[in-house]
Amino acid sequence: QVQLKESGGGLVQAGGSLRLSCAASGRTFSTYAMGWFRQAPGKEREFVANIGWRGVTTYYADSVKGRFTISRDNAKNTVYLQMNSLKPEDTAAYYCAADTRHYSAGYYYPNEYDYWGQGTQVTVSS
């Protein structure tokens, strides 16, 4: 079992930055991959970024590449999403997810992740 809790969302102007955090508890954090997804109203949940168990391998959606950075601190059982140069189209609820079936990153579909946080809202004003 893994419990996840996101924090750090909020309202920011276009061009601004936010850092999301996701604290994990339960199963040993350093034994599985983690991901961030987002879901805007009326849209399907979409992949944002993921990171392998050691924090070395990362993948990003094309829409956030170069602007967002995923990282993890296994000593703190926390994964982060640094979001820079935010755009109004980044507005969504952001969810962290644990993929306890894999050590490595590279899995992009929500059904490949077995534990989810409750989400944190990010709103970018123009």
Average pLDDT over residues 59-70: 98
Judge whether 19 and 71 are in contact, CB under 8 Å: no
Q: Residue 54: in which H helix or E strand, if any?
A: none
Judge whether 52 and 71 are in contact, CB under 8 Å: no
**75 band by pLDDT with thresholds 50, 70 and 90:** very high
State the Cα–Cα distance between residues 37 and 49, nearest whole angstrom: 7
Check residue 105 and give its pLDDT: 86
- Beta carbons within 10 angstroms of residue 36's beta carbon: 26
- Cβ-in-10-Å burial (0-12, 13-18, 19+) of 109 comes to exposed
pLDDT digits (tens, 9 = 90+) for 4-26: 999 999 999 999 999 999 999 99
Beta bridge partners of 46: 38
Check residue 4 and give its pLDDT: 97
Fill in the amino acid letter for 57.
Answer: T
| Tokens encoding 64 | 């956030």
- Percentages helix, strand, coil for the chain, rounded to the nearest 5? 5, 50, 45
For the chain, percent of residues with pLDDT exceeding 90? 90
